[in-house]
Amino acid sequence: MSESTSFQTHQVVVIGAGAAGTSVAASLLRQRPGLDVAIVEPSDVHYYQPAFTLVGGGAYSLAKTARPQASTLPTGARWVRAAARELQPEHNRVVLEDGREIGYEALVVTPGLKLDWDKITGLRETLGRNGVCSNYDPSLAAYTWQCIRQFRGGKAFFTQPPAPIKCAGAPQKIAYLAADYFRKKQISGQSELRFYAAGGALFSVPDFVPHLEKVARRYNIGLLMNHNLVAVNGDKKEATFRFTDGEGTVQEITESFDLLHVTPPQCAQDFVKNSPLANADGWVDVDQHTLQHVHFGRQQLTAHLKNGSRGSQAVSRSGSQHSGAACQGATESQLRRLHLLPHCYWLWQGDVGGICVWWQGNTYATAKPFQRICVLLAGEEARSASILL
Ligand SMILES: Cc1cc2nc3c(=O)[nH]c(=O)nc-3n(C[C@H](O)[C@H](O)[C@H](O)COP(=O)(O)OP(=O)(O)OC[C@H]3O[C@@H](n4cnc5c(N)ncnc54)[C@H](O)[C@@H]3O)c2cc1C
């Protein structure tokens, strides 16, 4: 990996060095050593985000979720240390935040999702205070654990915004971890746990729903569907939900809380929304089978890797995988999450590259040696697992 400082045109430009961009770049370089790949990425740190849930649940240290960006980029890729500001696909050009421009023959768009905290009135002012926490930001995940640890009974709410979100299981997982801790501390009796989801079902993959409902029942977590968190008053410790009933009638309901874990609404990054690559919803307009852009795809390779229930058949549809895990034995799942998965991520993410595994109708991104481990761990389901690439 080397750092690019002057204007250049590259064979491939990747925007965003998260899980998706890094593994796509690594995969390309593995197949074509010597390919001129530039990765546009402003952040000095690469986070292993799945472990944020464990940090919030008190089972993992935040320090272990972060590595220097330079150490995770694939060998042979050039690092353009800046944010992309504007996409000009007609000219095969990306304008950077600092005014520089870079050209490309092929473009890979993987800047992740924007966390839209401001869509919930009053949320930003109270995040990290007044019992309002979120695992979706590394600077806040440790506060989630503080809230859970200091909870002495009362009302604990966990929210899920409208789709799409990254890791569709994360909003539930922290609810289960908290419930488990309250049980161990013997304060479940004086605690009221509620899971508020903006959508009409607990999970977007119907097969998982009955299993997850069983888990929620076991922990005595009330499930409130069609409740979208729209405002938080941190000082009064009140949350306002927009509830839509079966007839489509909408009403606002305000409830007091002692602990509120918020999963923020999520959307496409602004520079993507405002670009000629975007569709009406703001996402890169790709063919769902090839991930090539519907108009510019012939000259460019575009892969918009957004996650969640409308996961666009991209190589990372992670949510269902993880809530699926919540249905299995906690010990096996916990061991895998704490020890095996982070290790595999750091070991293989950069230099082996991402690859897809199809399992129970869903596509997951993983590194190649990891495929085999997934299949081994899947037990019975291994028989129906088929490897795509
Ligand atoms: C709390 C939590 C729990 C999760 N749990 C799981 C789990 O258990 N299992 C699982 O598989 N997944 C889980 N995920 C989801 C997983 O982390 C994401 O699916 C994955 O990180 C998405 O990768 P990405 O590369 O698309 O986006 P990101 O990892 O978000 O990376 C995007 C990159 O693009 C960069 N970028 C942004 N804007 C620009 C710009 N303008 N120019 C250049 N670069 C830019 C960012 O700095 C970032 O490095 C979880 C996520 C969270 C937050």
Interval 311-321: pLDDT, tens: 222 222 222 22
User: What was the pLDDT predicted at 335?
Assistant: 61
147 vs 160: CA distance, rounded Å: 18
Least confident piece of the model among 1-15, 16-30, 164-178: 1-15
Least confident piece of the model among 202-206, 282-286, 304-308, 368-372: 304-308
DSSP 340: I
State the pTM of this model: 0.83
Q: Whose CA is nearest to atom 38 of ligand 1?
A: 111
Q: What is the pLDDT of residues 164-203, one digit of tens each?
A: 999 999 999 999 999 999 999 999 999 999 999 999 999 9
Answer whether 267 contacts ligand 1 (Cβ < 6 A): no
- DSSP secondary structure of 176-221: HHHHHHHHHTT-GGGEEEEEEESSSSS-SSGGGHHHHHHHHHHTTE
User: What was the pLDDT predicted at 6?
Assistant: 64
Answer whether 166 contacts ligand 1 (Cβ < 6 A): yes
Ligand 1 atom with the shortest distance to the CA of 316: 19
Do 2-112+269-387 and 115-265 have matching folds?
Answer: yes
User: What was the pLDDT predicted at 58?
Assistant: 96
Calculate how far, in angstroms, residue 110's C-alpha sits from the geometric centre of ligand 1. 9
Class of domain 115-265: alpha beta
Residue showing tokens 């666009």: 312
- Burial (CB < 10 A; 0-12, 13-18, 19+), residue 195, is buried
Answer whether 312 contacts ligand 1 (Cβ < 6 A): no
Ligand 1 atom with the shortest distance to the CA of 40: 43
Asked whether 52 and 65 are in contact (CB, 8 A), the reply is yes
Calculate how far, in angstroms, residue 21's C-alpha sits from the geometric centre of ligand 1. 10
Question: Ligand 1 test: best mutation among 271, 318, 334, 362, most atoms within 8 Å of CB?
Answer: 318
DSSP 232: E
C-alpha dist (Å) from residue 353 to 10, 73, 179, 356, 358: 20, 11, 36, 10, 17
Q: What is the pLDDT of residues 58-69, one digit of tens each?
A: 999 999 999 999
Give strand pairing partners of 268: 113
Banded pLDDT at 12 (limits 50, 70, 90) = very high
Ligand 1 atom with the shortest distance to the CA of 307: 19
Report, as an integer, the average pLDDT of 209-232.
97
Answer whether 257 contacts ligand 1 (Cβ < 6 A): no
Answer whether 165 contacts ligand 1 (Cβ < 6 A): no
Answer whether 366 contacts ligand 1 (Cβ < 6 A): no
Answer whether 362 contacts ligand 1 (Cβ < 6 A): no
Q: Whose CA is nearest to atom 44 of ligand 1?
A: 16
Calculate how far, in angstroms, residue 170's C-alpha sits from the geometric centre of ligand 1. 13
What 3-state DSSP class applies to 359?
A: strand
Ligand 1 atom with the shortest distance to the CA of 19: 25
Ligand 1 atom with the shortest distance to the CA of 97: 41
Domain ranges of the chain: 2-112+269-387, 115-265
Answer whether 163 contacts ligand 1 (Cβ < 6 A): no
Q: In which element (H, E) is residue 330 found?
A: helix 330-335
Q: What is the pLDDT of residues 70-124, one digit of tens each?
A: 999 999 999 999 999 999 999 999 999 999 999 999 999 999 999 999 999 999 9
243 vs 370: CA distance, rounded Å: 42
Residues 6+ away with beta carbon under 8 Å from 31: none
Q: Whose CA is nearest to atom 23 of ligand 1?
A: 19
Which architecture characterizes domain 2-112+269-387 according to CATH? Answer: 3-Layer(bba) Sandwich (3.50)
The token pair at 228 is: 């979208």
Answer whether 17 contacts ligand 1 (Cβ < 6 A): yes
Could you tell me the sign of the dihedral formed by the alpha carbons of 114, 118, 119, 120, in that order? positive
